[in-house]
A and B are shown apart, each in its own frame.
Chain A
Amino acid sequence: MPQIISSVGRNGANQKGDVRSVQDLLNRYSTRLGIAPLRVDGVAGARTVSAIERFQRQVLGMAAPDGRVDPGALTWNKLVATSAPSLSGAAWWHANQARFPNSRDIEDLDATFKPKVKRFLAAMKEAGINYEVNSTRRSKIRAYLMHYSWMIAKGNVAPEAVPIEPGCDIVWDHGNASASKVAAQQMVGLFGLVFKPSLNSRHIPGLAIDMDIAWTGTAKVKDASGSVVSIGSPCDDSNTKLHTVGASYGVVKNLKDPPHWSDTGG
């Protein structure tokens, strides 16, 4: 395994041997980063610093890259750990897909939608209405992986034309179209996709929630204005009176999908 003794990049010690190691590792990502390979000369010039920043932004998902590689720190560890290209396919899926789970945590909802949901849930709880939250925010990266696996497998997009998703270190382009499509198709199968996954779900920005709802008898639930609404049968998410109460909090029922509520009803 390569090693560096001191820091490389912006304001780094930039010892020649260390810079060469970093340049060599970055070059394995040149296609992925959309740059020409660096000259492995041990000089930490502008192109090397820029390549470090691109790696930090595109592979690590850093919002504010510092352009520096420190021994034992995040950027170095990632460069070494993933120095082999992360080619798409079944092996990538098995090794990585679990890193991008969807959430069922209320805290992961959008900051404007979350308080509305919390107030609605509190009102239901106070009224003795049982609910179980099953889905809140959908992983943007997971949606990206599913969408572009499908697109490449079906020949709807060239692998080299797939946009970079920050924080997702996958290489779609295997060097030839056939191998890229086979690898993408493996992921389509493992994800269990039958139709093209959408990138427009209200769950992706955290503006939707899926939950099972049930109660017995007549529930007396407060709407957002504090008025008590008596809600009888049907004692589940199809009850239109409950929809009205939810809407008063800004949590709107989608009438085509039993467990789904969102900011717009979409």
Chain B
Amino acid sequence: MSVGQSTTDALPADVVMFKESRDICDHFRGEDPYDAKRAAEIARNLERHCHGTDARLAALRKKYASQPQVMSALEGYEANIE
């Protein structure tokens, strides 16, 4: 088991779910809509994985403010992408 898996396994389920979603969102925020098909694919993924994540991130940071391990896992995520 890798260190990354171990760290993720120890995180609360809502944090893991947030990270999965926002990581995909962050990837597609850097992609190029080079044709109509690709533009639709990016738009679909952005809507599915980015929408609502600003509020979720703020809520998680508030909920787990006293847990350094969780706060560390949430570090580096941008607060305002919507």
Contacts and interface: CB of A to CB of B under 8 A. Distances in A.
Contact of B81 (A102, A195, A210, A256): A195
A138 B81 CA distance: 20
Interface residues of A, number: 28
Contact of B34 (A135, A197, A254, A257): A135
A200 interface: yes
B78 A201 contact: no
B82 A195 contact: yes
Interface of B: 24-35, 38, 41, 43, 45-47, 50, 78, 80-82
A203 B32 contact: yes
Contacts of B27: 201, 254, 256-257, 260, 266
Q: Interface majority SS on A: helix, strand, loop or mixed?
A: loop
Interface in A179-213: 192, 194-204, 210
A138 B46 contact: no
B32 A210 contact: yes
Contacts of B43: 194
A195 B34 contact: no
B2 to A, nearest CB: 14
B30 A194 contact: no
Contact of B26 (A156, A198, A210): A198
Contacts of A194: 43, 46-47
A194 B43 CA distance: 8
Contacts of A254: 27
A192 B29 CA distance: 12
The 8 closest A-B pairs by CB, nearest first: A201-B30, A198-B30, A198-B29, A196-B81, A195-B50, A102-B32, A135-B32, A134-B34
Contacts, number: 63
A28 interface: no
Contact of B31 (A196, A199, A201): A201
A118 interface: no
A135 B31 CA distance: 9
A154 interface: yes
B5 to A, nearest CB: 15
B74 to A, nearest CB: 17
Contacts of B78: 196
18 contacts: A104-B34, A134-B38, A135-B32, A138-B30, A154-B80, A195-B81, A196-B29, A196-B80, A196-B81, A197-B29, A198-B26, A201-B29, A201-B31, A202-B30, A203-B31, A256-B27, A256-B45, A258-B41
Contact of B24 (A104, A210, A256, A258): A256
A259 interface: yes
B30 A200 contact: yes
Nearest to A138: B32
Contact of B30 (A154, A204, A259): A204
Contacts of A192: 33
A213 B65 CA distance: 46
A258 B45 CA distance: 12
Contacts of B31: 135, 201, 203, 210, 257, 260
Nearest to B49: A256
